[in-house]
A and B are shown apart, each in its own frame.
Chain A
Amino acid sequence: MKIQDFGLDGTILQRILSIALAQGGDFADIYFQYNSSLSIKMEEDIIKNTSSSILLGVGIRVIDGIQTGYAYTSDVSYEKLVETARNASIIAKNKHNISLNTLQIKNKSKNIYDLNAPVINSDIDEQINLVKEAYNSAKKYDNRITKITSSLASSYDFITIANSEGLIITDERPQTRLMVAATAEDGQNKSTAIANNGGRAGMEFYKSVELPESIGKRASEEAIILLSAKDAPSGELPLVLGSEESGVMIHEAVGHPLEADGIWQKTSVMWNKYGETVANPNVTIYDDPTIPNYRGSLNVDDEGCDAENIMLIEKGKIVGFMNDYLSSKLLGHKRNGHGRRESFQSIPIPRMSNTVLMQGNYSPEEIIESTKYGIYAKSFQGGMVEGTGKFTFSLNLGYLIENGKLTAPIKNVTLIGMNLDILKNIEMVGNDMGFFLGTCGKQGQSVAVTSGTPTLKISKMTVGGINGSN
């Protein structure tokens, strides 16, 4: 695929960029997107629906000082692009007459996606088999499993970015995710659990990384455990975060506060803490878009900049921020390729990709054994953070820890804390590692991310359970 298939070329984009900057402004860029996706859903023992979607459009951005003008169109004809460029330039007030560089095609320095056999291009029959294998495995796991939804969503995203600095670059990004929701009932209680896996990968993923059967089984296993789950206790308690999905905590407590827009705007509680020790020295955290085939990985970000692995916290000290074009310019930092957008309908803003807390020395067993009474976090619904550093995350399934052992399962509980307190309270870091696959929302835009952690112990955090339940 190429932009020429849509009647566009470098000369036209160059002309549009000069129209975008005709009123003034320091910078302009064009984001062309053609995204095709297919999803398949099985429920109540039948393949109920297959659904395809085409998203075509162009977004044009003009930056003047700290102001951003943006406009987009799903009609990519020349006349509409001219109108769109003019709309984006409304904010530009000061004529700088900057000279436009001639567009030079830039090739990506790497490819970190598996572009062999993208799922969306493979036989629908083969894709349906994946959905059925996951469904059937969830169903046969236990006869208390009563309802299952198994769905496969895959897409192929073609983007071309051109900007007034002379860059023109193309990226093609596959994405796939197989998800199973299982509902269990035993006459008294019922429960629902979700399991999923996927990435910027091809069909091979479901053969070599995780089989569909395994995804289905995980959903049912958790739903069955939840049937006997109790309410969590209430109050400040020690917390052990299992490695499977606890990356959510790092994503909220550290990731968002170190996105560079909150830094230059001084709205993040960490804006003035560069070089300061904010976490226990056993904590090192980085954001790495270059992990091959991962859900949050990128060759280049949505501004065409090489996406780089960036160290955020080294041995407890803040050493970096994730930035986009505008925030790097305003802060005087080197760009590191973290400007992302949901689609051509949105402006790029600093975002995470794959956020990882580095392994430590303790075995998960040692960490659990060291806890006399507390909570163990197994699976998550998600989390949230505000600029003040107050954050929450919600467990779908956890366990009580009593005398160093996991005992009763507990359900649906939210934990709350301030990041600057909790980061200092990370007292043990495990030697294992697991990744949570998520879709992160910020300013109304959703992007694919992952976050990884080993097993962690936090000395205390507020657990939102039921008073007197334990």
Chain B
Amino acid sequence: MEATNYLDYNEEIINFALKNGASQIQIAHSICDDFEVEVRQGEIQQFNKAISKSMGMKILVDDRVASASTSDLRKEIVKNLVLSTIKRARYSEADPYARLADLERSNIDSNSLNIYDPKIEELSPDWKISQAKEMESIALSDNRITNSLGSQVSTSLSTIFLSNSNGFAGSFQASSISAGVFLQAGSGDELYEEGWWENRVALETLPQIDEIAKTAINRTTRLIGAKKIESQKLPVIFEPNIAAEILGFLSACVNGNNIYLNRSFLAGKLDSQIANPIINIIDDGLIPGGLGSRPFDSDGVPTRKTIVIENGILKSYLLGTYAARKLNMKSTGNASGITNFVLENGNNSQNDLIRRIDKGILITSTIGHGLNPTTGDISKGAAGMMIINGEIAYPVNEFTFSGNLQSILQNIIAIANDPIQNSQVITPSILVNELDISGK
């Protein structure tokens, strides 16, 4: 990565802004070195390699806010942008809540977070191309797979430099590598689409590509012959990737911005029992090697471990500086959203959960929207495996599941111990006692 220290540059711009009428200013520089290759049917469908830079600024003049961003980093352009942003601030109305975060000393050593793997820098494009090709060719070697929707390997290296006029100056580097393949199976107009991908901070924790390809094959081929089902109420197991979608929706509902605007069903519910007592959820920005681990958020506030739900009781919202002030609370270092949002494991395997069900569905994929934070309502398209008498019986498709997040959280009656690590939401499989299924 480039060695330029943008903290010095930031300081120069901050001084320039303060001299020219800004009361407060914050600057963020980001540099991203991105690589992506997508292979389809053995040929490079897309190869994308680039380094991009951009900067963003937030300026206050007497509590009036204006912001700006640019990918044109020539100094005279940036200085002009500072001046025009200072001018533009007078169009906003005074908003004392919007002042920059007070400086909070932090003893987080960003190196100990292990969020940058220098080995990823060394990977050659040819190596990444050959991995994508091999992963696809393993997947296509199964004769039940009829087409490839693409096999991808991508890497991302980024550096953030954040400084503000309250005395904050910090930077960190982060890396990620991901690999995945998506497939089609079936014949005629009866087609099934699925796949698998993995995403990690460090190369050596990325699962091997043959493992990824085999998971993709299994997830796709098990859907062959899927039927429509009758509408009914059934117990449901969400596989970890789908449980992560549900928990991701929960994370939007505990986000401070939705709370102070009353656009969450969880506004005003602090300290109440919103979930089954077996549920414990934390947001932890300091997990070593975590995809969402960061030393500080976009306000320059140190990240931390926040208990969100303890024994089913809502203990905290996730707050940036602005939302925290609006709610008369303290920032939790979540101005950039969730860090690592983790549901604590239970003691069961996924099979244990399956064995508990006489008739129900293992939901393995979803399609579409249908999430409403204001009410907590969920309604999504899905596919999965029917469970009969404690065993996987046959594939089911073209149905929806619907309910309210509050009642789903109350009805999670068992949690497995099989979390996956490929997103900022980390959760094992969960068993929901009863959910509305719509089909025929």
On whether the two chains bind one another, the answer is yes
What residues make up the interface of A, taking CB atoms closer than 8 Å to B?
A: 40, 43, 46-57, 65-75, 84, 87-88, 90-91, 124-125, 128, 146-147, 149, 183, 185, 189-192, 231-232, 234-236, 265-267, 269, 345, 347, 381-384, 386-394, 396, 411-418, 420, 462-468
Q: Could you say which residues of chain A place their CB within 8 Å of the CB of B46? A: 68, 70, 347
A49 near B379 (CB under 8 angstroms)? no
Closest to A191 in B: B374
Nearest 3 pairs of A and B residues by beta carbon: A464-B400, A392-B368, A414-B370
Assembly CA distance A412 to B376 (angstroms): 10
Q: What distance in Å separates the Cβ of A264 from its nearest Cβ neighbour in chain B?
A: 11
In the docked arrangement, what's the CA distance between A330 and B103, Å? Answer: 58
User: At the interface with chain A, which of B37-45, B248-256, B353-361?
Assistant: B37-45
Q: Nearest CB to that of A382 among chain B residues? A: B369
Q: Considering the chains assembled together, what is the distance between the CA atoms of A417 and B368 in angstroms?
A: 12
What residue of chain A has the Cβ atom nearest to residue B376's Cβ?
A412
B71 adjacent to A74 (CB under 8 Å): yes
Q: Can you name 27 A-B residue pairings with CB atoms under 8 Å?
A: A49-B65, A50-B92, A52-B68, A55-B71, A65-B43, A66-B43, A67-B43, A67-B47, A71-B48, A71-B50, A74-B73, A91-B47, A128-B91, A183-B261, A183-B262, A234-B402, A383-B368, A384-B381, A387-B149, A390-B381, A390-B397, A392-B367, A393-B369, A413-B402, A414-B400, A416-B368, A464-B379
Distance, CA A468 to CA B332, complexed state (A): 42
Known: A73-B51, A464-B401. A413 touches B261 (CB 8 A): no
Most buried by B among A70, A71, A91, A414: A414
Residue in A87, A345, A388 with the greatest tally of chain B CB atoms within 10 Å = A388
- For the complex formed, measure the closest distance between the CB of A128 and the CB atoms of chain B, giving whole angstroms: 6
A78 to B74 CA separation, bound complex (whole angstroms)? 15
A470 to B184, CA, bound (A): 38
Majority DSSP secondary structure for residues of A touching B: strand
Q: In angstroms, how far is the closest chain B Cβ from the Cβ of A381? A: 4
Q: Given that A90-B125, A462-B438 are contacting pairs, would A387 and B68 also be in contact in the complex, using a CB cutoff of 8 Å? A: no
Q: Is the CB of A388 within 8 A of B191?
A: yes
In the bound complex, how far is the Cα of B48 from the Cα of A87, in angstroms? 8
Contact A414 B71 (CB under 8 A): no
Contacts of B378 in A (CB 8 A): 412
- Tell me whether A51 and B66 are in contact in the complex, defined as CB-CB below 8 angstroms, given that A191-B375, A394-B368, A416-B381 are known contacts: yes
Q: Which residues of B contact A (CB under 8 A)?
A: 40, 43-54, 65-73, 77, 81, 84-85, 88-89, 91-95, 98, 125, 147, 149, 184, 186, 189, 191-193, 228, 231-233, 261-263, 265, 367-370, 372-375, 377-381, 397-403, 436-440
Residues of B within 8 A of A75 (CB): 53, 73
Known pairs A47-B93, A52-B88; A67 contacts B369 (CB<8 A): no
A465 contacts B375, C-beta separation under 8 Å: no
Contact of A53 among B69, B147, B439 (CB under 8 A): B69
Contact partners of B232 in chain A: CB under 8 A: 467
Apart from A51-B68, A192-B374, A392-B367, 19 more pairs, CB < 8 Å: A46-B92, A49-B67, A51-B67, A52-B68, A67-B43, A68-B44, A69-B47, A70-B48, A75-B73, A90-B125, A234-B437, A345-B52, A387-B191, A392-B400, A393-B369, A411-B377, A412-B372, A413-B370, A416-B381
Contact A124 B91 (CB under 8 A): yes
Beta-carbon nearest neighbor of B74 in chain A: A75
Q: Which applies to chain B's interface (DSSP): helix, strand, loop or mixed?
A: strand
In the complex, the answer to whether A185 meets B262 with C-beta atoms within 8 Å is yes
Provide the residues of chain B in CB contact with A183, threshold 8 Å: 261-263, 374
Chain B neighbourhood of A146, CB < 8 A = 262
Q: Are A87 and B49 in contact (CB under 8 A)?
A: yes
| Alpha-carbon distance between A390 and B46 when the two chains are bound, in angstroms | 26
Inter-chain contacts of A74 with B (CB < 8 A): 52-54, 71-73
A387-B367 contact, Cβ under 8 Å, with A69-B47, A147-B262: no
| Set of chain B residues within 8 Å of A125, measured between Cβ atoms | 91
Q: How far is the CA of A387 from the CA of B189 in the complex (A)?
A: 10
Q: Are B69 and A387 in contact (CB under 8 A)?
A: no
Q: Is the CB of A54 within 8 A of B380?
A: no
Contacts of B53 in A (CB 8 A): 74-75
